[in-house]
């Protein structure tokens, strides 16, 4: 029996490539001496999107405790676990690391609450795993995009399962491993953070402690089981082991008893105040939604404090100050971006279109 999955790993030389030709990519000088996914990692490291993850809600909003995870720390943790398990399985670690780093770049202010709010106000299927493609390929670098490899974009488009069944994508083993590493990372980390606030009424299932007495032990006991089961099945799998069964119980517990029961009513009020403010200015829900989606969370809290205390014109002028608000850099371009379909990247990611049909055409409404 094979002792790893090296023979099934995605080979970098088989990449479908990028949407733009080399001569339109400012990183072209890296092409002839670096792996394409190493180039992608460099692009992501220096992106604006990674900086907006700082302070953005993972599970707890507005925490003053610096030890509570935000989206940036979560992304780093997923990147670490993806690289470690990928190395053990001998998969394409560079592809895994770059995909893991940017998998949540599409998250908006206040996490899943903000995502659901924008979807409701837009009356559209706004999802972070879809919006991230638009952010990376149509907004970064003054609208030119990062021009990432197809496999990175595909992996992040299909990483999310929410509370649903952890089905595999069937594209690459790296896609499937990223999906599992994301789930393992946030379930145990979110529990760790929830315990910091003495979350009321929790009856922790025995299965959690059967996986270990602390976060690291639980996480890597599951990661070990995932690796050994995957080697045995010669496919990414985390279903049959005792650890997988315990993890399912803990995951269901986190959704039923934590995620669905956190009181976020005051945050919904904040989202309504901000959206209504932008609606008074734009009188267009698509512009309001896209502006909200591109804000930093720090900027959103500051804006919320200004609304009602100053005139709308005064506040909009403040928002245009790049020294104070990250959104200021995007405001001039938001009207033209909002004309595009920022909720659905699937035509762009269709292999028959990717790199062959102009991006503007594929994101047109």
pLDDT tens digits for range 263-311:
899 999 999 999 999 999 999 999 999 999 999 999 999 999 999 999 9
Residue whose entry in the numeric block shows the structure tokens 């999906």: 179
As given in the structure block, the two tokens for residue 251 are: 């995951």
| Torsion over CA: 229, 80, 150, 139 (sign) | positive
For residues 249 and 271, what is the distance between their CA atoms, to the nearest angstrom? 33
The pLDDT value given to residue 1:
67
Q: What is the pLDDT of residue 199?
A: 84
Closest of 127, 77, 238, 218 to residue 173, by C-alpha: 238
Domain ranges of the chain: 6-259, 265-343
Question: Domain 6-259 is classified in which CATH homologous superfamily?
Answer: Hypothetical protein af1432 (1.10.3210.10)
User: Is 14 strand, coil or helix?
Assistant: helix
- Supply the pLDDT for residue 201: 85
In order of 89, 164, 196, 228, the CA distances from 225 in angstroms are 12, 21, 28, 5
The structure's pTM equals 0.96
Please work out, in degrees rounded to the nearest 5, the angle formed at the alpha carbon of residue 203 by the alpha carbons of 202 and 207: 125
Tokens read off for 94: 């560079």
Which pLDDT does position 213 carry in this prediction?
Answer: 96
For the chain, list residues with pLDDT below 50.
Answer: none
The DSSP string of 20-73 is: S-GGG-TTGGGTTTS-HHHHHHHHHHT-HHHHHTTT-BSSSSS---TTS-BHHH
């Amino acid at each position: 029996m094979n002792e790893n999955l090296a023979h099934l790993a995605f080979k970098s030389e088989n990449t479908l490539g990028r949407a733009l030709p080399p001569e339109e990519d400012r990183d072209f000088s890296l092409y002839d001496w670096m792996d394409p996914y190493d180039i992608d990692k460099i692009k992501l490291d220096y992106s604006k999107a990674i900086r907006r993850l700082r302070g953005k809600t993972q599970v707890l909003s507005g925490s003053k405790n610096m030890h509570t995870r935000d989206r940036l720390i979560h992304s780093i943790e997923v990147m670490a676990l993806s690289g470690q398990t990928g190395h053990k399985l001998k998969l394409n670690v560079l592809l895994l690391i770059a995909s893991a780093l940017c998998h949540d770049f599409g998250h908006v202010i206040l996490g899943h609450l903000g995502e659901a709010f924008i979807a409701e106000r837009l009356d559209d299927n706004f999802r972070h795993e879809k919006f991230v493609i638009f952010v990376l390929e149509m907004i970064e670098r003054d609208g030119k995009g990062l021009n990432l490899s197809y496999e990175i974009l595909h992996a992040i488009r299909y990483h999310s399962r929410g509370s649903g069944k952890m089905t595999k994508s069937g594209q690459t083993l790296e896609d499937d491993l990223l999906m599992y590493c994301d789930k393992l990372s946030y379930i145990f980390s979110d529990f760790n953070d929830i315990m910091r606030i003495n979350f009321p009424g929790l009856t922790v299932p025995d299965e959690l402690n059967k996986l270990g007495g602390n976060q690291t032990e639980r996480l890597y006991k599951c990661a070990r089981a995932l690796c050994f089961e995957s080697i045995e099945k010669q496919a990414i799998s985390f279903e049959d082991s005792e650890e997988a069964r315990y993890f399912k119980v803990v995951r269901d517990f986190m959704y039923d008893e934590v995620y669905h029961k956190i009181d976020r009513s005051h945050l919904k009020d904040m989202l309504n105040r901000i959206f209504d403010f932008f609606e008074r200015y734009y009188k267009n829900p698509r512009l309001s939604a896209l502006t909200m989606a591109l804000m930093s969370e720090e900027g959103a809290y500051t804006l919320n404090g200004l609304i009602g205390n100053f005139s709308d014109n005064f506040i909009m002028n403040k928002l245009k100050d790049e020294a104070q608000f990250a959104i200021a850099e995007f405001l001039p371009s938001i009207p033209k971006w909002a004309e595009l379909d920022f909720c659905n990247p699937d035509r762009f990611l269709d292999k028959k279109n990717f790199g062959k049909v102009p991006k503007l055409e594929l994101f047109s409404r």
